């Protein structure tokens, strides 16, 4: 079945450590996105990538980094510079980044940093 896989579902880290969240899609989509969700707030865009080897900052990119070496993979690293990393992280993909392409979301990773 086609879809988006995020792993792990729950992740725990100590403050000061970098952590990488996985996102893989087998939908053959060109565009991929990372969002952050906090309680009582909508999703906020961290980074997005329109095509392999290219990515752009979203609204809240500080303290995060990404790579897009393969079409199907878009890992997100939460660095120690991110002041409030505890959140629910959602990855999404779409056929393209413009027009009416629907974004499909993965199940999310809940990161807790203590």
Partner 1 sequence: GNSVTQMEGPVTLSEEAFLTINCTYTATGYPSLFWYVQYPGEGLQLLLKATKADDKGSNKGFEATYRKETTSFHLEKGSVQVSDSAVYFCALRGGGTSYGKLTFGQGTILTVHP
Which residue ranges make up the site for partner 1 (CB under 8 A)? 4, 6, 31, 33, 40-45, 48, 50, 56, 58, 90, 92, 94, 96-108
User: Cα(44)–Cα(113) distance, rounded to whole angstroms?
Assistant: 19
Strand pairing report for 104-105 and 19-25: unpaired
What is the length of the chain? 114
| Residue located via tokens 């999310």 | 108
Closer residue to partner 1, CB minimum distance, 58 or 63: 58
Question: Hey, what's the torsion of the CAs at 96, 90, 19, 32, to 10 degrees?
Answer: 0
- Rounded to a whole number of angstroms, the minimum distance from the CB of residue 100 to partner 1 is 6
Shortest CB 16 distance to partner 1, Å? 28
Is the CB of 63 or the CB of 104 nearer to partner 1? 104
Which structure tokens are listed for 78?
A: 């939460």
Q: Are residues 101 and 30 in contact, defined by beta-carbon separation less than 8 angstroms?
A: no
Considering beta carbons, is residue 80 or 104 the nearer one to partner 1? 104
**Contact present, 37 and 86 (Cβ < 8 Å):** no
CB of 13 or CB of 44, closer to partner 1: 44
Q: Least Å distance between CB 35 and partner 1?
A: 8
Minimum distance of partner 1 from residue 80's CB (angstroms): 27
């Amino acid at each position: 079945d086609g879809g988006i896989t995020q792993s792990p579902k729950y992740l725990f880290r100590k403050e000061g450590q970098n952590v990488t969240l996985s996102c893989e899609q087998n939908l053959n989509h060109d565009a991929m996105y990372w969002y952050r969700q906090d309680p009582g707030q909508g999703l906020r865009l961290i980074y997005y990538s329109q095509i392999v080897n290219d990515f752009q900052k979203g609204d809240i990119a500080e303290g995060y980094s990404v790579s897009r070496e393969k079409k199907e993979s878009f890992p997100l690293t939460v660095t120690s510079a991110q002041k409030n990393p505890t959140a629910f992280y959602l990855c999404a993909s779409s056929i393209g980044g413009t027009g009416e392409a629907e974004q499909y979301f993965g199940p999310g990773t809940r990161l807790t940093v203590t």
